[in-house]
Amino acid sequence: MKFKALALCTSLLSAGVVFTSLPVVAQTPAAPRPQAPQISPEEALQKFSFFTTSVGLGKGANLGGLAGADAHCQALAKAAGAGNKTWRAYLSTQAADGKPAINARDRIGKGPWYNVKGALIANDVGHLHGDTVAQAQLGSNLTRNQALTEKGERVLGAGDTPNQHDILTGSKTDGTAFTDAADHTCKNYTSAAADGSAQVGHFDRTGGGNASWNSAHPSRGCGQENLVATGGAGLFYCFVAN
């Protein structure tokens, strides 16, 4: 085969065929990936409008009702330098003692909301809850890496020790209150008894059957020890309502 190829080349050269090398094609360097815009601490604090509480009240699901929960949000936000805003706990209550139910989604303003580092959590209430098919497909940014505390720290989640991903909400997935006869709010956040229950979400969107940030499963009791035993610490979400 080598001799045949050599003979062919010799024949072609005799016939005046000129061999040229193929041009070298320069490779275009890959375009750099877009970087997230840098934001100053001052700008981040100005946008700051959402956090997961770094600590609970230490009384299980007894938060002193909505007023007590709101006050806790306000106090933690003030310590973080954002006490000039009106903060509300993301909690639903059920109808009781002649008072109507209150939906968590109706307590938190219109958005948009940003974490303490200036990262967008959701544009509005619909985006937060996935009200439309498009919004549900888009999904909010309330995730393990973005649902930070007011201190800018990540909450311990599934796989951490201890796991504290249970977040009190008392809500259905659409952010509204339960309307059946069962107690889903530990008596509207006034009970720390070993019995009773409050609906919780998973900020890390792991476990619970539906991986919901606001309505994964009911707690097994209302006391602090009960919440800890099932993966919680009496934490809840806070949003700016103004």
For a pLDDT cut of 70, what percent of the chain falls above it? 85
Residue 4 within any structural domain of the chain: no
Phi-psi region of 95 (alpha: psi -120 to 50; beta: other; left: phi over 0): beta
pTM of the model: 0.84
Task: List, in order, residues 6 or more apart from 113 with CB less than 8 Å away.
Answer: 49, 50, 120, 121, 122, 128, 239, 240
Residue 204 within any structural domain of the chain: yes
Residue 1 within any structural domain of the chain: no
What's at 80, amino acid-wise? A
Q: CA 158 to CA 134: how far, in whole Å?
A: 28
Express each pLDDT in 26-85 by its tens digit. Answer: 555 555 554 556 789 999 999 999 999 999 999 999 999 999 999 999 999 999 999 999
For residue 209, what is the domain's CATH number? 3.10.100.10
Residue 23 within any structural domain of the chain: no
Cα-only R_g, the chain: 28
* Closest by CA position to 59, among listed 178, 239, 236: 236
Residue 15 within any structural domain of the chain: no
Q: Quick check: bond before 34 cis, omega within 30?
A: no
Residue position matching structure tokens 């009970």? 191
- pLDDT above 70 (res 220): yes
Residue position matching structure tokens 């956090």? 51
Q: Are 188 and 68 in contact (CB under 8 A)?
A: no
Residue 34 within any structural domain of the chain: no
Using alpha carbons only, what angle is made at residue 36 by residues 34 and 38, rounded to the nearest 5 degrees? Answer: 130
Residue 27 within any structural domain of the chain: no
Q: Is the dihedral of CA 41, 122, 134, 154 positive or negative?
A: positive
Express each pLDDT in 86-107 by its tens digit. Answer: 999 999 999 999 999 999 999 9
Residue 47 within any structural domain of the chain: yes
Domain range holding 142? 41-240
How far CA 129 is from CA of 92, 213, 221, in Å, comes to 14, 10, 26
The confidence band for 22, taking pLDDT boundaries of 50, 70 and 90, is: very low
How many independent structural domains does the chain possess? 1
Least confident of 14-23, 88-97, 123-132: 14-23
